[in-house]
Amino acid sequence: MTTDISANGIHIRLAEEADFPQLVALYREFATFEKLPHRMINTVEKMKAEKDLFHCYVAETPAKHIAGYVSCFHCYYTWSGKSFYMDDLYIQPAYRGQGLGTRLVETVIAYAKDSGCGKLRWQVSNWNTQAIAFYKSLGAEIDNVERNCDLVLG
């Protein structure tokens, strides 16, 4: 699923290289929302160099403004096999409450199913009660078992 026109004219599509500047700005915005702006070190140049690893859907307005995005990738879990990981889901505040988050997640779910994945996984911050409620409304099981382990290599 790459395009889904809605009544408000915002459609969902795969991100393209031309979107990288807008996406990097949104990544900064999201990092600030998450209270971790110092962790956002990605750049347009880095994205271009690593674009073969990049998979993302954007919610685009008729004026070509990206109002939100969801980044994701294939992975393999030893307990469940081929899976899909939803890294970030972010909608700009002015566009929240219009169903864009649901449409982006539904696009990821459809893609994961179509590509033969048995599971979709993602993370949510403990303090983000709105996101937790949203994910639960989609049927997600949210546990408190695992924690992030990041080892910065560069």
Name the helix (H) or strand (E) containing 12.
strand 11-14
Q: Where are the domains of the chain?
A: 11-137
pTM for the model: 0.89
**Residue 150 pLDDT greater than 60, yes or no:** yes
Q: Which residues of 49-70 are buried (b: 16+ CB within 10 A; e: fewer)?
A: eeeeeebbbbbbeeeeebbbbb
- Any idea which residues carry the catalytic annotation? 135
- Cβ atoms of 121 and 142 within 8 Å: the answer is no
pLDDT tens for 42-66 read: 999 999 999 999 999 999 999 999 9
Q: What is the mean pLDDT of the chain?
A: 92
Q: What is the CATH number of domain 11-137?
A: 3.40.630.30
Percent of the chain with pLDDT over 70: 95
Type of residue found at 14: L
Split at pLDDT 50, 70, 90, the class of 145 is confident
Q: What is the pLDDT of residue 144?
A: 84
pLDDT tens for 82-93 read: 999 999 999 999
